[in-house]
Amino acid sequence: MDTTWQHTTVLLNEAVNALQIQPDLTYVDATFGRGGHSRLILSQLGAQGRLIAFDKDPEAVRTALAMSDADPRLSIRHEGFAQLGSMSAQVAGVLMDLGISSPQIDNPERGFSFRNDGPLDMRMDSTRGQSVAQWLAVADQQHIAEVVRDYGEERFAVAVAKAIVARREAGRLPTTTLELADIVAGAVKTREYGQNPATRTFQAFRIFINGELEELTQALEASLNVLQPGGRLVVISFHSLEDRIVKQFIARHTRETVDKRAPDWMLAKPSAMKLIAMGRTKPGTAEIAGNPRSRSAVMRVAERTAV
């Protein structure tokens, strides 16, 4: 187990308290990370309680396997949390922490950060799929610009895409994080105070290469099927794209709806609401001071209805 890079769990107590743990029931940590939330959940479970964890990161899975060897109440699935829908049993709570862990950011070999040089990878699961470098070797300029614009909300997306393609056509395709950061810095003319010019582009490429927003949408929908009545859904997001999806999902299922595509929709009985919104929480000043990476976190909580 790697102990070089440490991780501080965001909204640790707030998230686990929101689950309202009942000792002998089953819960899901849909994004195990380095196990901060899982450890606290396990400390509140009884002998019959169970915790099922998901994670795509092989390093996170190794950490979870070591924990499960000592505590058989924990089981880990080396899968993304979109696979929630494959669960047959219902559970009393689902926790999703959507942030990437500090070891992922701080380890240059993972390729997530522009602060230290490393291979341009950014895959959550480094054993599967296409790295950012491999994608940039074949992607056309329009697609690169769309990704940077849509997932990074970068207003200089076209300039960034042009600069990357120009470097590729010159035979100097970026293959490391600092090479990419240098290209982006030359294309992004202005940036918010204190923010690295590459911040939005790196976010965009990470979200795209891992299919993060699509997976989140699938996982949220799956949670409706696995949560038992009264079960809690707790989601911690770290940027507006994620939080918007979570907010809209909860809003959509906290009201009765009618399918207006049906020919007799005016006479149809509304479908029952499936969730009750339980509020929104952000880290306090003390947590932000101790862990600046928590400053953008937003936690939303909803409870499954009896219907």
CA dist 243 and 98 (Å) reads 10
Residues 91 and 19 sit within 8 Å (Cβ to Cβ): no
SS3 call for 28: strand
Nearest one of 307, 174, 132 to 230, comparing CA atoms:
307
81: which strand partners? Answer: none
DSSP conformation class of 271: B
pLDDT at res. 274: 92
Helix (H) or strand (E) holding 177: helix 177-187
CA dist 13 and 88 (Å) reads 28
Residue type, 180: L
Tell me the residue length of the chain. 307
**What is the assigned CATH class of domain 12-103+212-304?**
alpha beta
Task: Locate CATH 3.40.50.150 in the chain.
Answer: 12-103+212-304
pLDDT at res. 261: 62
What are the b/e assignments for 197-211, b being 16+ CB within 10 Å?
A: bbbbbbbbbbbbbbe
Nearest one of 221, 209, 199 to 296, comparing CA atoms:
199
Q: How far is CA 17 from the centre of its chain?
A: 20
pLDDT at res. 259: 53
pLDDT at res. 16: 97
Report mean pLDDT in 10-residue bins for the chain, 307 residues: 62 97 97 93 98 94 95 96 91 94 76 88 92 96 98 96 97 95 92 84 96 96 96 96 97 74 58 88 94 92 92
Alpha-carbon distances of 114 from 60, 237, 244, rounded to whole Å: 22, 21, 26
Q: What's the CATH superfamily of 114-210?
A: Putative methyltransferase TM0872, insert domain (1.10.150.170)
pLDDT at res. 20: 97
Helix (H) or strand (E) holding 226: helix 212-226
CA dist 81 and 242 (Å) reads 14
pLDDT at res. 45: 98
pLDDT at res. 251: 95
Residues 279 and 301 sit within 8 Å (Cβ to Cβ): yes
CA dist 234 and 190 (Å) reads 36
51: which strand partners? Answer: 27, 74
Task: Locate CATH 1.10.150.170 in the chain.
Answer: 114-210
pLDDT at res. 304: 97
DSSP codes, 235-293:
EEE-SHHHHHHHHHHHHHHSS-B--TTSTTGGGSPPBPP-EEEEEEE---HHHHHH-GG
Which residue is listed with tokens 């686990």? 16
pLDDT at res. 88: 84
Helices and strands of the chain, counted as H and E runs: 12, 7
Instruction: Show Cβ contacts of residue 283 under 8 Å, excluding neighbours closer than 6 positions.
Output: 10, 11, 291, 294, 295, 297
CA dist 277 and 300 (Å) reads 8
pTM recorded for the entire structure: 0.89
